[in-house]
Amino acid sequence: MINSKTSFLALIGSPVGHSLSPVMQNAALEHLGLNLIYIAIPCKENDFEIVINSLKKINCKGLNLTIPFKEKVMQYCDKISPAAKKIKAINTLRLNDNYEWEGTNTDVEGFIYPLKRINFSKKTGIVLGSGGAARSVIQGLINLKFSNIVIISRNEQAQRKLVRDFQGSSSLIKGLMNNDLEIIDLINSSDLIINTTPVGMKHIKNENLPFGLNLWKSLNSQTIVYDLIYNPLPTELIKYCNKKGCLTIDGSQMLVAQGAQSLKYWTNSKEIPFEIMMEAVKKHL
């Protein structure tokens, strides 16, 4: 029950109205019997500084950050984990005893969660899109020891920056524009393809598959296809790849796994109720 000692956790972003984080985090907090609640706070870009500084002063124990604040928040942190420094993005903050924000990134762990039991050493992974989520995905592929990572996207500048930022890691990284003819063979021969574009989300109309049907025609049934989108499920991409006989993974496991890691960071709880969080998410999809 909410009482005068209740503290809170929050998601900050724009928009946040579609987020399932409050649903899954509140289910977990209730299960753990903690006097904490989780809310979503919509925030305009210009108001971010005042909001992030004010939250330090009003019983807020931790935050999740989403679009467009994952990079911007770095300048307001007194301590940043090596994982977040490496990918230059923070999705989780906690307030320490000196009332300073400490930041980390749980998206990499969240992304890896459904892939952990598979051996990907010497394999090739394709990342579709070159935005914020692609950063966590690329770091995840490096952690999983992929030998080759290819980024396919439509934004040349963002793609170049991504390739530059991850150059020198143990995996060979290159970028291709989405109309490059090399892609057809690559799609056919890759081991894992990850969609990090928003194509497939409810509000993106008239686009069924990322970069159009032609890109997918050479898909091989041995390839695993991982779509970060979790709403609606199944996405058109997941349906198409299932029909082709591929193993598919949707974004719900990553959503819950990154949320579970954030909850661990805030509460130091050893037993995070993953299944309860997943059940709460599935009820709302």
| 23 forms part of the interface with ligand NAP (CB under 6 A) | no
Residues 77-136 that bind ligand NAP (CB under 6 A): 107, 110, 129-134
Would you call 70 a catalytic residue per the annotation? yes
The order of strands in the sheet holding 192-195 is: 172-177, 148-153, 124-128, 192-195, 224-227, 247-249
Q: Are 39 and 73 in contact (CB under 8 A)?
A: no
Given 70, 123, 205, 283, the catalytic residue: 70
CB of 120 to ligand NAP, least distance (A): 19
| 166 forms part of the interface with ligand NAP (CB under 6 A) | no
Amino acid at 61: K
Amino acid at 282: K
Q: What is the DSSP string of 112-165?
A: HGGGTTS--TT-EEEEE--SHHHHHHHHHHHHTT-SEEEEEES-HHHHHHHHHH
Query: How far apart are the C-alpha atoms of 140 and 122, rounded to whole Å?
Result: 15
| 207 forms part of the interface with ligand NAP (CB under 6 A) | yes
> For ligand NAP, which residue of 199, 237, 238, 281 counts as binding (CB under 6 A)?
199
Q: Quick one: 125 or 129, whose CB is closer to ligand NAP?
A: 129
**What does residue 164 show for φ and ψ, rounded to 5 degrees?**
-60, -45
CB of 3 to ligand NAP, least distance (A): 32
Stretch that binds ligand NAP, among 38-46, 51-59, 139-147, 152-160 (CB under 6 A): 152-160
Stretch that binds ligand NAP, among 37-45, 183-191, 193-201, 264-272 (CB under 6 A): 193-201
Query: How far apart are the C-alpha atoms of 25 and 281, rounded to whole Å?
Result: 10
Chain positions contacting ligand NAP, by CB under 6 A: 67, 107, 110, 129-134, 153-155, 158, 196-199, 201, 207, 210-211, 228-230, 251, 254-255, 258
Active-site residues, by number, are 70
